[in-house]
């Protein structure tokens, strides 16, 4: 089992976490947000948190809340990330203080962005078709596109897809296909059409709703989703990433869902806090199948993968 944490992400820092909160730096600005996984005590004193932070999210009576301003900062700002082992592949994000505690990026996913770009660069198919389901503001879509993929980005929330489009334009990319639809409905239709993809990325929530109110519950529906997704994968070459963030969801569940996949990697994504603690942020499974290298009579490689 792998434990993966982003490296070389100067625009992001988890400073500390504990007592169900996390102290994070996004570019120049520092936020305090709720974090249900941080069940331990904070490493830094509370006064240190308040001294450092620009804003703190205060939960309301429902699932939303408000941001308490501690220092002056804009409502929107930008950060960027350079995909590792690539030349000049920089993706950019517009961040914002939303009423649902999110700011527009899940930095722990940077480890998967690198894997996506690497997988796309190894494909013989040109350009490889990649499907990003439950795609949010598009970090995975940007990584795939920057590496040369023909990417389809799907999310059930129109405003989130518009946000992802802004990130595409900010990153100097173009021609991502945008879909606002229920993920399971879309996948069922693609299977009927006989469509194939060289890459599929899934980051489903624990709970959610489709465009027409369709219910999504991870434990009840992920098995059906994965069976359908497997039918969409190109038989010759492909990669797949399944990431889940749900309290109590084990990487062994991911292993069983993807049983039989070649070279399957499973593990946990986490963030290393500067204060010394480690924050778990989801379990994942991923694998890829590439076309073998063909060699001529002299042993020279005809295809580099």
Per residue in 142-165, pLDDT tens?
A: 999 999 999 999 999 999 999 999
List 129's β-bridge partners, or say none.
150
What's the pLDDT at 303?
40
What's the pLDDT at 295?
42
Is the CB of residue 254 less than 8 Å from the CB of residue 242?
yes
d(CA 99, CA 158): 16
Low-confidence residues in the chain, pLDDT < 50:
293, 295-297, 299-305
What's the pLDDT at 84?
81
Domains of the chain, by residue range, sit at 2-289
| Domain 2-289 top-level CATH class | alpha beta
Strand runs (DSSP E) across 29-118, as ranges? 29-34, 55-59, 65-69, 76-82, 90-96
What's the pLDDT at 53?
98
What's the pLDDT at 189?
98
Token match 């990417």: residue?
Answer: 151
What's the pLDDT at 34?
96
d(CA 283, CA 285): 7
Q: Please report which helix (H) or strand (E) contains residue 161, including its range.
A: helix 158-170
What's the pLDDT at 65?
94
Strand runs (DSSP E) across 128-225, as ranges? 129-133, 150-155, 177-180, 199-202, 207-209, 215-217
d(CA 216, CA 230): 19
Per-residue pLDDT of 48-80, as tens digits, reads 999 999 999 999 877 789 999 999 999 999 999
List 96's β-bridge partners, or say none.
76
What's the pLDDT at 44?
98
What's the pLDDT at 302?
44
What's the pLDDT at 183?
96
Edge-to-edge strands, sheet with 199-202: 2-4, 265-272, 278-289, 238-244, 199-202, 129-133, 150-155, 177-180
Global pTM reads 0.92
What's the pLDDT at 299?
46
């Amino acid at each position: 089992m792998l434990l993966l944490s982003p490296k070389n992400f100067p625009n992001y820092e988890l400073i500390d976490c504990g007592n169900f909160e996390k102290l994070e730096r996004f570019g120049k600005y520092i936020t305090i947000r709720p974090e249900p996984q941080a069940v331990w005590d904070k490493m830094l004193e509370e006064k240190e948190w308040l001294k450092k932070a620009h804003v703190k999210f205060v939960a309301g009576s429902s699932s939303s809340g408000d941001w308490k301003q501690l220092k002056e900062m804009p409502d929107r700002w930008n950060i960027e990330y350079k995909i590792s082992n690539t030349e000049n592949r920089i993706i950019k994000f517009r961040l914002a203080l939303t009423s649902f505690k999110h700011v527009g990026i899940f930095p722990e996913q940077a480890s998967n962005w690198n894997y996506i770009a690497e997988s796309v660069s190894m494909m013989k198919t040109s350009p490889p078709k990649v499907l990003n389901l439950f795609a949010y503001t598009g970090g995975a879509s940007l990584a795939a596109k920057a590496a040369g993929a023909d990417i389809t980005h799907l999310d059930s929330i129109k405003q989130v897809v518009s946000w992802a489009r802004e990130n595409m334009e900010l990153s100097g990319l173009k021609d991502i296909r945008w879909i606002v639809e229920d993920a399971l409905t879309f996948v069922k239709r693609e299977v009927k059409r006989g469509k194939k993809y060289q890459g599929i990325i899934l980051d489903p929530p624990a709970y959610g709703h489709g465009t027409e109110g369709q219910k999504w519950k991870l434990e009840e529906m992920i098995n059906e989703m994965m069976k359908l997704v497997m039918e969409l994968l190109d038989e010759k070459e492909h990669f797949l990433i399944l990431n889940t963030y749900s309290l109590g969801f084990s990487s062994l569940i991911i292993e069983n869902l993807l049983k039989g996949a070649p070279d399957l990697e499973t593990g946990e994504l986490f963030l290393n806090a500067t204060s010394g603690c480690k924050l778990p942020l989801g379990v994942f499974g991923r694998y890829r199948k590439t076309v073998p290298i063909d060699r001529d009579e002299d042993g020279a490689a005809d295809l580099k993968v």
